[in-house]
Amino acid sequence: MSFQGDQPLLLPSVTQRRRVVNEACVTSPDQTEPMARTDHPRRKRSSPERREEFLDAAVAAIRRDGPGVSMEALAGEAGVTKPILYRVFGARDGLLLALGERFAAELADTLREPLAGGGADRDAREVLRSTIDAYVALIDRDPELYRFLTERLASAPDQPITGLTEEVARSVAVVMGERLRAIGADSGAAEPWAYGIVGMVHLAGDWWVNRRTMSREHLVGYLVSLLWDGLAGVAPNDDR
C-alpha cells in the first residue's frame, strides 16, 4: 500500500467504481447532472384484448392444421407456452369453451334473420329453406373449425354448441307455434317438431362436413323436402 505523508492513499471500492460507471451512462457529455431516463414501458394489453388475440391465433392454427391440431400448436401460433394459454383462459379446456362460445354467438347471429322470416306474409317453406341453408352455409365457410369444436367439445357437459342448438330449437318452436295458430292448427306440435327439425339438421350437417358426397344446395334441398313433404312425398303415387 502507498502512503503520502502520514496518510494512506485510499483506493475507491468496487461499489463506488460501479456507481461512477452507472452515472456516466446516464450523463450528457455537456452536463454534470445525470440525464433523466427516457425509455417508456410498453403498453400492456388488457385481458379481453389478449383473449381475442389468442382466439384469433387458435382459429388460424385450426384452419391450417385441421381438427387434430395440438394444444402446443395453438399456443405456438399465439407466441406463448401452453401454461400461459391455460392461465389466460382459466383452465385447460377454457380455450376450447371460449372458441365454442364465439362460434355459437356467430351461429345465433346468422340464424336470427332467416328465423324471423321477414314478416308473416313470407312463404313458410322459404323460411325453412333459408334457415337450413344459413346453418349449412356457416359450417361450410369454416369446416375445420366446426369439426374441431364438435369433436373436442363432445364430452364437455356444458359445451356451448349443444346449448346453442337448444336455443335455436326454442326459437324455431316459437315461430312454428305462431304460424300454426295463424292457420287455426294445433300449436301443441310446435315444440317437439322444432327439436326434431333442429336435431336432424344438426346431425345432417355433421355428416355432410365429414363426407361431402353432395353439394350444399342438394343437402338443403333434401332436408327441406323431407321436412316439408314428409316421407309420403317420396312414396309412389299408388302407395299414398
Query: Which CATH number belongs to the domain containing residue 82 in this structure?
Result: 1.10.10
Is residue 82 one of the residues assigned to a domain?
yes
* In a shared domain, residues 155 and 175: yes
Task: Indicate whether 82 and 112 sit together in one domain.
Answer: no
pLDDT for 144: 94
State mean pLDDT over 120-142.
86
Helix (H, G, I), strand (E, B) or coil at 8: strand
75 neighbors 84 (Cβ within 8 angstroms)? yes
Is residue 107 located within the same domain as residue 215? yes
User: Do 161 and 178 lie in a common domain?
Assistant: yes
Enumerate the β-bridge partners of residue 8.
3
13 inside domain: no
Residue-level pLDDT at 106: 87
Quote the DSSP letter at residue 123.
-
Whole-number Å distance between alpha carbons of 149 and 154: 8
Q: Which three cell numbers stand for residue 216?
A: 350444399
Query: What are the Cα distances from residue 136, in Å, to 79, 154, 208, 213, 234?
Result: 33, 19, 9, 14, 23
The CA distance from 135 to 155, in Å, is 23
Write out the residue range of the structural domain in which residue 118 sits: 100-232
Average pLDDT, the chain: 78
Query: What value does the mean pLDDT take over residues 61-66?
Result: 95
User: For the domain that residue 182 is a member of, what is the CATH number?
Assistant: 1.10.357.10
81 within a domain of the structure (yes/no): yes
Please tell me whether residues 170 and 146 are part of one structural domain: yes
Q: How far apart are CA 186 and CA 177, in angstroms?
A: 8
Asked, for residue 37, whether it belongs to a domain, the answer is no
Q: pLDDT at position 14, please?
A: 42
Determine the average pLDDT of the residues in 53-63: 95
Which range among 120-124, 133-137, 153-157, 229-233 has the greatest average pLDDT?
133-137
114 shares a domain with 88:
no
Q: Distance between CA 150 and CA 102 in Å, rounded?
A: 13
CA distance 154 to 162: 9
Task: Say whether pLDDT at 183 is over 50.
Answer: yes
Tell me which of 56, 73, 92 is where a domain ends: 92
For residue 8, tell me if it sits in a domain.
Answer: no
Find the distance separating the first CA and the last CA of the chain, reported in whole Å.
Answer: 120
Number of domains comprising the chain: 2
Q: What is the pLDDT of residues 101-111, one digit of tens each?
A: 888 888 888 88
How far, in Å, CA of 145 to CA of 166, rounded?
A: 20
Is 132 inside any structural domain? yes
Which residue did the predictor score with more confidence, 154 or 65? 65
> Is residue 23 a part of any domain in this protein?
no
Residues 80 and 119 in one domain: no
What's the average model confidence in pLDDT over 77-86?
Answer: 92
| Residues 84 and 120 occupy one common structural domain | no
| pLDDT score of 212 more than 60 | yes
Residue 13 has pLDDT above 90, yes or no: no
Inside any domain, residue 214: yes
Phi, psi of 204 (to 5 degrees): -65, -35
Whether residue 86 is found in the same domain as residue 170: no
Residue 104 shares a structural domain with residue 54: no
| Domain C-terminal end among 92, 123, 148 | 92
Q: 71, 92, 113 — which closes off a domain?
A: 92
Percent of the chain at pLDDT > 70 equals: 70
Residues 61 and 110 both lie in one domain: no
* Residue 52 sits in the same domain as residue 118: no
Average the pLDDT over 67-75 and give the result: 92
